[in-house]
Amino acid sequence: MLSEILQSKRAQIKKLAKISSVTSFEVEAEGFKHRNFSEKLARNEESNQIGVIAEVKKASPSKGILRENFQVKNIARLYENNSAACISVLTDQKFFKGSIENLIQARREISIPVLRKDFIIDPLQVAESYAMHADCILLIAAALPVSLLLELESQALSYGIDCLLEVHNEGDLEKAMSCKSKLIGINNRNLEDFSVNLETSLRLNKTIPPTKLVISESGIKNSGDIKLLTDNGIRTFLIGETFMRQECPGQALKKLLSSYAESD
C-alpha cells in the first residue's frame, strides 16, 4: 500500500510542478508567522500532562469512510474547545479523502498548532506546506532515504516549520535519530498487513533518548491504552479514528481525557 501511495504522490507532484515552484510557494508564504508545534507539546510534558494531537480524518485506505458528516471547521473547533494540544489534518485526497483546503479551514478556525498529515517526499511539498501555513509536517522514515529525509527536514526548519518524524520499526528509528527534530512519532500500525500493536511504541521508546519527545500513533482507543503508554513513559498521542467514529469528536476527546484522569 505504501508503494502504491508513493507512486500516486509522485504523479501528483509532477502535475503540481507544472503550475507552481518552490520559489512561488515561498513568496506566497512570506511574512507568515507559524505556531510552535513542538513547544506546545513540550509544555504539556513539562507540566506532567498528557497531550493529544487530535486528527481530522474522513477516511483511510484500510477502513474506508470513517465519517460521513465531515465538517472540518466544526471538528477542529470542538477539538480545541475540549483540550486538544494540537490538531492533525489529512491532506491526501486519493487515499484519505483529505485536502489542502481542509487544513487551511481548520487552521483559520483555531489558535492551536496544526500538523499537515500527508506523504511528503519532495521539496515542492514542503514549500507548499509553508504556503498553506502548516505549523508542522509529517516525514515518514519508511518512505524516504536518509539523504532526502535530512534535506526535507532542513528545508522545513528553515521555514520555521516543525517536523514529526514517523517511525514503524528499528530501521526507521535509526534514520530518524540522524535528524535534528525533537518529535518522534511511533506508528503502531504494521505497514505490511495494517495490524496494530501498542507494543511497538513500548519497544521502540526504550531506545529513544529523553531529549526527544515521543508520540504514540494509531490504535489508541481508551483510557486503558493511554495508561499503558504513560506507565511506560509516553505522554503524547496522535488519535484520529477513535474520535472520528463518534457522534461528537470533541466530546469523545473530553471523555477520553477525563476517563484517564480518573484512572490515574
Burial class (CB in 10 A: 0-12, 13-18, 19+), 190: middle
pLDDT at 18 over 80: yes
Catalytic residue among 38, 102, 201, 218: 218
Please count the structural domains in the chain: 1
Told to judge if 109 belongs to the known catalytic residues of this protein, a careful annotator would answer no
pLDDT of 180 reads 97
Q: What is the pLDDT of residues 176-230, one digit of tens each?
A: 999 999 999 999 998 877 789 999 999 999 999 999 999 999 999 999 999 999 9
Compute φ and ψ for 64, nearest 5 degrees: 75, -150
Helix-helix angle 72-81:249-263, to 10 degrees = 20
CATH of the domain at 96: 3.20.20.70
Whether the full predicted model's pTM is greater than 0.75, yes or no, is: yes
pLDDT at 131 over 90: yes
Told to judge if 80 belongs to the known catalytic residues of this protein, a careful annotator would answer no
Told to judge if 218 belongs to the known catalytic residues of this protein, a careful annotator would answer yes
Told to judge if 192 belongs to the known catalytic residues of this protein, a careful annotator would answer no
Told to judge if 15 belongs to the known catalytic residues of this protein, a careful annotator would answer no
How far is it, in rounded angstroms, from Cα 253 to Cα 246?
10
pLDDT of 210 reads 94
Strands 59-60 vs 64-65: parallel, antiparallel or unpaired: antiparallel
Q: Which structural domain range is residue 135 located in?
A: 2-263
Report, as an integer, the average pLDDT of 9-38. Answer: 95
Query: Among 154, 239, 258, which Cα is nearest to 188's?
Result: 239
Told to judge if 48 belongs to the known catalytic residues of this protein, a careful annotator would answer no
Q: What whole-number percentage of the chain has pLDDT above 90?
A: 89
